[in-house]
Structure 1
Amino acid sequence: MADKYLELVNSGMTKKLAKLLGLPRPPRLRRYGVDTPLLPGPVLVLGTSARAQELSDVMVSWGLDVRRHDAGQSKLGGLVLLLDELSHPEQLSALMLATSAALRKLVPGARVVSVSKPALANDEPAVAAVRQGIDGAMRSLGREMRGGATANGIVLAGDTSIVSPSALGALRFFFSGRSAYVDGQFLTVRTEAGELPDDFRAPLAGKVAVVTGAARGIGAEIARTLARDGAKVVLVDMPQAGDALAKVANQVGGTTLQLDVTAKDAGARIMDHALTRHGSLDLVVHNAGITRDKLLANMDAARWDSVIAVNIASQLRMNEVFLAAKIPGLRVVCLASTSGIAGNRGQTNYAASKGGVIGMVRASAALFAESGGSITAVAPGFIETEMTAKIPLGTRTVARLVLPSLMQGGLPVDVAEAIGFLGSDAAAGLNGQTLRVCGQSLVGA
């Protein structure tokens, strides 16, 4: 959605007119700034958990005003629902009704985060029922939020606790403006691995990060965001994008590497450049991707094969090189898409490639963990880019205004923020997962 429309329906006389005419009024989203508060008001903790007090103490150390059980008449910037000890669906009632009352006190841009356990096949039926019920309730709550507020969840697998590094990292991510376009989503903390940064304003300080497809669009924004967070960035793109690539590299103080990611030696060249020029390789972002849309009935081999080659086969080949090198602590973040989850008309080739990314990430997690690393993916929904500008106008309008709970398309920076978090040491315990950045829409590329 054009920023002009968003401004018109949220300011002055045009705001009143839009309300009178019943026009959609997308909220202004609370996005991250280095000096902006983590939350726009106090945070209320509801429910009980073995580590509830310890969690509250950590949040206080973050500078938050933490309330337990009752916020009085105070407006709230955040709400944490501790649901990890529930064992029957009937136990949800009291907590959900308490949440109902608290929701009316939330300010614009507030955050609601649940903490729960995964529903497993070997659970008691009642236990599995309440745990899966929490999933449905939180996704539905995400669609009910107003004023740019969001609702997301943290799932604690096995014996992991809410005060493990990756659980706390996920909580800060969901609280902050970094998650502005993430709604109705869950992150599962699988291990106690991870480490919180010394400085939350520079979570990638001292890291060397490689970003493919970095000359423009989402890739360029990823490079800027990683550099802002302290990383030294290597920007990779095709030789014909050399001028645009150099421009972005100059902006972020990074180095460039011109190559085709489908080349058999791409992984080796990336690794050699990072190690030779910067002394390490800590993060690889597989962002390079293309679309060649066509209905399958009209698809030809060139369109199909080129998309598979760039979007998934190149990642598989490069990952084999990185795994063989056993680079300690290497984190890889891949660009998937909601098209790979829900499909999209005219995108069988693209959806196959992006669904392939999700499968690759899930299957590669254990392999990267052997060297203390991780691999994750981000699945953008409708993000305002040159690529989505090619979607027919009618589809774009519906995607922006009707389907997402936030009533607008996301921005490249929303994808970049999620990648920055998943590529940090604070997310080490989230290995193998795919995070949707889609405002609860399944439309887009």
Structure 2
Amino acid sequence: MSDLLLTLAAHPGANKLLKKLGLPAPVALQRSTQAIPDSPLQEATAVIGGVTGSEALDIVRARLQELGARVCEDKQTSEAPPDIALFDATGCRNSEDLDALYRFFHPLMAQFPRHGRALLLAQTPEQADDPVTAACAKAVEGFTRSLGKELGKRGATANLIYLTPGQEDRLAGPLTFFCSPASAYVDGQAIRLSAAVEAPPQTTLAQPQQNKIALVTGASRGIGAATARQLAGEGATVVCLDIPSASRALTSFAAEINGVPMPMDITAPDAPQTLAQFFLEQYGGLDIIVHNAGITRDKTLAKMSEATWRNVLDVNFRAVVAINEALLNAKVLRNMGRIICLSSISGVAGNFGQTNYAASKAALIGYVTALAPQLAHQGITVNAVAPAFIETDMTAQMPLLMREAGRRLNSLSQGGQPEDVAALIAFLAAPDAYGVTGATIRVCGQALIGA
């Protein structure tokens, strides 16, 4: 469904009128136009800086140049406003060091471009060696989240990566994602790099999923279809699963991406074992699992039947656990595999009339956090993605005022697209995302709800 304010904001005269009326004038986001561009940052200008004692800048500089960016050490050496502003605050150890944040970003703000990317690095607070250092790391997070709110009106984003000394080699994948158009609707996030999973063999940037087998549930439309299309574009063979009643749409879509349709009710008692047997017999294993299938059955708790409660928990949570257990016990999921669960902003913040849905989506957040360390020795990562307002058939059915609130209550003043969620899932599924596990990342435009 079209967004009237987004359409009006694209026209200079209407844009001025929106501002005069005090209405948001959202900037149309710049998204990736292909699955994996050969040089994601080609022709981009990146300005980098850091606190004295920070040690990641050399790796950052090299990676940005590999991706096609022109890297400058300060704004004065940049011929144009930078598309990327990256600041390494891992060496921040006292309150005076925090002043470097101001000195770096202040002169950039007046000309920060549309669709720009601000990315900060900080030491993981829990691993700091004294309270002041830990406090400074959290200060960087607060700065980043506020920066994202200021940049959002330009369609620009700000995000933070926490890392500890020795983890700099794990920056390549996150740098590629957070500095590129792929992260257009991921804003105000703080992710933590983990050393638990070993680095996989190197892959080509253009086809990171070549020869990989992926399962995407709920794949006939919306986020599931966008995810399946993205993974197929990166070289994977995608098995597209959805309920039997959607088999016609599923079969048609799977043919479009050279995928394999699999009509199935994931809550059926034999579904987990059927899936395990299928992947072993047809492919000898599985590399990527995207648990996207989900349902809502909204009622206030006072009016909710037990059947309605159980139905949502069965699809959104119990089926996920049962399928994972079957695939893991039968050793179907290969080493270096990826498990990605679709949570929701409702699982983070709750929502009126969604006690069942919020419980199921919050359960997934706890699940990936606990499961990730158990599988790390196999090189398997486990993560969750938590979308907020995404423009799908479901949100198109919402009442007008509720739909408008969902669109506007974020720093970018607009809803996301299924492709935005798919891009984040594809990043987490990629080999070079091995430093991210046990995480829940929101794709929400820095939604104010649950912030």
Task: Give TM-score, length-normalised by structure 1.
Answer: 0.94
2:55 to 50, 56, 60: 50
Matched residue SS, 2:166: coil
1: CA distance between counterparts of 2:76 and 2:272? 53
CA drift of 1:199 comes to 2.8
**Contact (CA 8 Å) 1:44, 1:68: kept in 2 or not?**
yes
Which residue of the other structure, out of 247, 250, 258, is the alignment partner of 2:255? Answer: 250
The residue number in structure 2 matching 1:424 is 430
Q: Is structure 2 residue 193 aligned with structure 1 residue 186? A: no
CA distance in 2, matches of 1:195, 1:112: 28
Shift of 1:89: 2.3
1:28-427 mapped onto 2 (5 Å cutoff): 28-34=28-34, 35=37, 37-38=40-41, 41-48=44-51, 49-72=54-77, 74-120=80-126, 123-145=129-151, 146-157=153-164, 159-162=165-168, 164=169, 166-191=170-195, 193-195=198-200, 198-326=203-331, 327-401=334-408, 403-427=409-433
TM-superposed CA distance for 1:284, in Å, is: 0.5
State whether residues 26 and 408 of structure 1, in contact with CA within 8 Å, keep that contact through their aligned partners in structure 2. yes
User: Displacement, 1:276?
Assistant: 2.7
Q: d(CA) in 1 for partners of 2:4 and 2:48? A: 38
Listed as ranges, the gaps of 5+ residues in structure 1 are none
Task: Judge conservation of contact 2:44–2:68 (CA < 8 Å) in 1.
Answer: no
Specify the SS of the correspondent of 2:33: coil
Q: For the residues of structure 2 that align with 1:209 and 1:346, how far apart are their CA atoms?
A: 34
- For residue 39 of structure 1, report the CA deviation from its aligned partner: 6.4
**AA matched with 1:285:** V
The 3 A distance-change label for structure 1 pair 121 and 41 is closer
Pair 105,331 (structure 1): closer, same or farther in 2 beyond 3 Å? same
**TM-superposed deviation, 1:78:** 0.2
Q: Please, which moves more after superposition, 320-329 or 26-35? A: 320-329
1:71–1:122 CA distance, 2 compared to 1 (3 A): closer
Of the structure 1 ranges 100-109 and 9-18, higher mean CA displacement relative to structure 2 is found in: 9-18
SS at match of 2:125: coil
**Residue 71 and residue 226 in structure 1: after superposition, are their counterparts in 2 closer, same or farther (change >3 A)?**
farther
Other-structure match for 2:6: 6
SS for the counterpart of 1:108 is coil
Hey, what's the Cα distance between the residues in 2 that align with 1:346 and 1:391? 14
What SS does the corresponding residue of 2:24 show, helix, strand or coil?
A: coil
Once structures 1 and 2 are overlaid, which stretch shifts more, 275-284 or 330-339? 275-284
**After the TM superposition, which of the residue ranges 194-203 and 127-136 deviates more from structure 2?**
194-203
Report deviation, 1:40.
Answer: 6.3
CA contact (8 A) 2:42 2:68 kept: no
Amino acid at match of 1:257: M
Tell me, in whole angstroms, the C-alpha distance in 1 between the residues paired with 2:166 and 2:30. 30
Matched to 1:232, the amino acid is T
Whether the 8 Å contact between 2:117 and 2:156 is mirrored in structure 1 is yes
Q: Which runs of 5+ in 2 are unaligned?
A: none
When residues 11 and 337 of structure 1 are mapped into structure 2, their CA distance, relative to the original with a 3 A threshold, is same
- Shift in alpha-carbon separation, 1:275–1:177, aligned structure 2, 3 A: farther
Q: Which moves more between the two structures, 145-154 or 98-107? A: 98-107
Query: Would you say the 8 A contact 2:9–2:27 is kept in 1?
Result: no
Q: State the shift of 1:308 in Å.
A: 0.3
Q: Distance in 2 between matches of 1:54 and 1:441?
A: 31
Q: Tell me whether 214-223 or 301-310 shows the greater mean CA deviation.
A: 214-223
Gap change, CA 1:40 and 1:148, over 3 Å in 2: farther
Shift of 1:98: 2.0
For residues 200 and 412 of structure 1, the distance between their equivalents in structure 2, rounded to whole angstroms, comes to 22
Q: Distance in 2 between matches of 1:399 and 1:269?
A: 39
Cα 1:83–1:12 change in 2 (3 A) is: closer
Q: Is the 8 A contact 1:39 1:77 kept in 2?
A: no
- Provide Cα deviations, 1:102-140, integer angstroms capped at 9, x if missing partner: 232322111000011111177411111101111111011
**Per-residue CA distance 1:2-52 (angstroms, 9 max, x = gap):** 245412221253334334433311111110123574266310011142242
- Check whether the contact 2:56–2:88 (CA below 8 A) recurs between aligned residues: no
SS at match of 2:435: helix
Higher mean displacement: 117-126 or 289-298:
117-126
Deviation at 1:186, TM superposition (A): 1.6
Q: Distance in 2 between matches of 1:40 and 1:144?
A: 25
d(CA) in 2 for partners of 1:196, 1:177: 25
Structure 1 residue 195 displacement after superposition: 4.3
User: Would the alpha carbon gap of residues 82 and 305 (structure 1) be closer, same or farther in structure 2, given more than 3 Å must change?
Assistant: same
